[in-house]
Structure 1
Amino acid sequence: MQALSGGVAYGLKYQARCIANVIGDSQSQQTSFLVGTLSLREENEVHLIQLSPFGSELTCEGLYSHPHEIWDLASCPFDLRIFSTVYASGGDYGAALWRIPEPSTHHNAPQLEQLGCLDAHTHKIKCVLWWPSGRHGQLVSIDEETFYLWSLDSSTMSAKVLSQESAGMLNHMSGGAWDPHDINTLSIACESSVQFWDLRSIKQVNSIGHAQVRDLDYNPSKQHIVVTAGDDSRIRIWDLRMPNLPSEELTGHTHWTWCVQYNPIYDELILSAGTDSTVNLWQTSPIQGRGSRPGRESPTGPVDPLVRSYSDFEDSVYGLAWSRQEPCIFASLSYDGRVVVNSVPQNIQKEMNKVPKM
């Protein structure tokens, strides 16, 4: 796809925090996203939006009512019509699995089908995790105090608790990530550390002692490498074989960073965003070499890893989503309900095209 000449925008009526790429259909070549709203007084919505083939506009392909405020949304990796939400209703929180209805010619607005609830939680739920590398019969849900491992029947989407564990009384959980290279490894962001758990023994096996991590992601092609975002505005890359110090620090945000994501295909590219209303695109190593050394170099010396800052927003940016269908495309979501789809610069796209896809 050609680079977008500028960001393509889509506006929601209500505030929003979460966006996800629709990833469950390996045959689809069109980029689609799910966005959930966060309204206290109005009925909330899930928008299914699609980028046109030439990247000139975003269109709404489906608009579905959702009964509660949506605080987290994740797309099923093996069925494009299924997704999960974490929601709030008054002082209560819950998590559920949903199916998008088949396209219909009826005039009545189609409704989401609720497939099941993850109803074992007794504290505020933070997120639901699907294993990112394909079909798997388990789910993970994380609340402020405890994480749960669920057995998932993929035919009925019913879930049962297999095990649960607390990160400790002094560790307030804020999110997590599931290792795409190891189905048995889960990482959890806490107030004072990042913890790594073996899901077979439900034992902690490693940790990074770094305060106030808000989000983290695994390198999609290199084992043992994670990236974190936190309250000190810095993005850090870690080698879990040497967890005492980060292997690289990226500075470019001016306030809290709330989300960070590796490109799903090209692991040299990282997106980050936060409360400075800015989305930063980073390139951390030469695409041709897939080297592990920090930064990039040119004949004149080191190259700034910050490729571009996107300042399309007037409010905090809480949501990021790369397109798996078109890896040079990504979407950002600000709290005021503004979705903007951008592409990486043309010179980076040319480098990306030289590298065989994983």
Structure 2
Amino acid sequence: EDAPLIYGLELPARCMCSQSAECNVTRFIVGTQSLKQENQIHLVEFDDENNQLEKTVFAHSSGEIWHISSSFNNPLLFSTCYSNYKDGELVTGCKIYRMVSDAKQETSEHDEFDSGAESFESIDEVCTVTSSEINHISSLQWKPVEDDHQVIILGDGKLHLFDLEEEKPNSLFSFMLPEKKGHPLVATCGKWNPHHGAKQFAVAAGQNITSFDMRSKTPAFQLDNCHGQMIRDLDFNPNKQYHLATCGDDCLVKFWDTREPSAPISVLEDDHSHWVWGVRFNPFHDQLVLSCGSDSRVVLHNKASISSEPFGHLVEDEEDEETEKRKDGLIAVYEEHEDSVYAVEWSAADPWSFASLSYDGRIVINKVPKNVKFEILL
């Protein structure tokens, strides 16, 4: 098997994303979180042929980076959500940046651009949303639809919808998060539902998940008491429109069918011994599921029985169904980290590569075991 590649940052970090719109090169964007030193944005490129990493570092003077995400339409665009202290008060905000190539200084959003053949020397700030507009900004989520430039910003106990095509983006409308005892719940994470043209957005607050419909401006579905403790992350199955996965402080990863919200369809309960911070479906083969947690572990599971690609062929009789269920199980546990693992992401270009990030600034690139890869492909 290929040995993992490890890249160490000088500063603590807890947020990472893949370069979602880049389908030719495996790249991950990482943001640091330091109170004492100027923070950085690291663009890490994985060269699969030579099994090596290349990196580019940009300065981020606005403060600690708490969330980072990239556009699904333009590989050059990404966003950071940050916080810092100014005059003794906590200031939050989010910025959208465009990467600038050393070969092409001015790159408009609609230019044709082969990013796989270029390197980047700087980033340009496109727009900023600050605490004066939205308090307590926690994350920005790009809409996963081609030629759609809407984003959701979580903050101030609301979901705020923005259109970045406007000259000066303003909030189009907002949803108030559910309240508990008269106080809005704090949103820990949110995701666009990639199905049906991404008309729904799901947000986790406390132990519950609420999905909002952007057309009717009403809740689409509700999952109550999903976990015994706070939900840390959620992810929609990219190939099955009603399925999503959640994880939380109860050390569990759960899989749900939103048409039957009363109980999960499957639970992973023996893989983590502490809070689970991230869960991700493989964007190409959704039976491969990654999770990471504060126990310094990254876990790869096979969930063929609830995936869009059941083992072998379509189930036709009970014997085949039993064979399919037996294929579920733990594939591998990766223990290259020595600190809490806060983020795990699949490559947007290679279905068999993924990266994980721990708080001590260690980025680890791993690959799906070859025997599992060949079993899926054959």
Instruction: Note whether the superposition's TM-score is higher than 0.5.
Output: yes
In structure 2, runs of 5+ residues without a counterpart are 106-119, 305-309
CA contact (8 A) 1:77 1:135 kept: no
> Matched residues in 1 for 2:164 and 2:311: separation?
38
> Matched residues in 2 for 1:323 and 1:55: separation?
17
> Matched residues in 1 for 2:156 and 2:273: separation?
27
Q: 1:307 to 1:152 in 2, by over 3 A?
A: same
Equivalent position of 2:195 in the other structure: 181
CA contact (8 A) 1:121 1:143 kept: no
RMSD between aligned residues: 2.3
> Matched residues in 1 for 2:234 and 2:314: separation?
21
> Matched residues in 1 for 2:139 and 2:366: separation?
26
Letter matched to residue 23 of structure 1? S
Percent identical pairs in the alignment equals 31
Does residue 1:312 correspond to 2:330, yes or no?
no
Does residue 1:41 correspond to 2:36, yes or no?
yes
> Matched residues in 2 for 1:174 and 1:316: separation?
17
Does residue 1:118 correspond to 2:129, yes or no?
yes
Structure 2 matches for 1:328-343, cutoff 5 A? 328-343=352-367
| Corresponding residue SS for 1:74 | strand
Following TM superposition, by how much is the alpha carbon of 1:300 offset from its aligned partner in structure 2, in angstroms?
11
Equivalent position of 2:276 in the other structure: 257
Segment drifting more, 13-22 vs 166-175? 166-175
CA contact (8 A) 2:21 2:348 kept: no
Equivalent position of 2:154 in the other structure: 142
| Corresponding residue SS for 1:352 | helix
Q: 1:276-316 CA distances to partner (integer Å, 9 max, x unpaired)?
A: 1000101101444477xxxx977698355221110110000
In structure 1, runs of 5+ residues without a counterpart are none
Superposed structure 1 runs of 4+ greater than 4 Å apart: 296-301
Q: TM-score, normalised by structure 1?
A: 0.89
Structure 2 matches for 1:189-204, cutoff 5 A? 189-204=204-219
- Structure 1 residue aligned with 2:264, among 236, 243, 246? 246
Structure 2 matches for 1:70-81, cutoff 5 A? 70-81=65-76
Equivalent position of 1:64 in the other structure: 58
Segment drifting more, 245-254 vs 112-121? 112-121
> Matched residues in 2 for 1:14 and 1:48: separation?
15
Equivalent position of 2:109 in the other structure: none
> Matched residues in 1 for 2:346 and 2:158: separation?
29
CA contact (8 A) 1:9 1:57 kept: no
| Corresponding residue SS for 1:159 | coil
Q: 1:289 to 1:39 in 2, by over 3 A?
A: farther
CA contact (8 A) 1:288 1:351 kept: no
CA contact (8 A) 1:260 1:271 kept: yes
CA contact (8 A) 1:96 1:118 kept: yes
CA contact (8 A) 1:186 1:199 kept: yes
CA contact (8 A) 2:354 2:367 kept: yes
Q: 1:262 to 1:133 in 2, by over 3 A?
A: farther
CA contact (8 A) 1:144 1:173 kept: no
CA contact (8 A) 1:38 1:70 kept: yes
CA contact (8 A) 2:78 2:98 kept: yes
> Matched residues in 1 for 2:360 and 2:334: separation?
17
Q: 1:289 to 1:118 in 2, by over 3 A?
A: farther
CA contact (8 A) 2:302 2:327 kept: no
CA contact (8 A) 1:268 1:290 kept: no
> Matched residues in 2 for 1:14 and 1:263: separation?
29
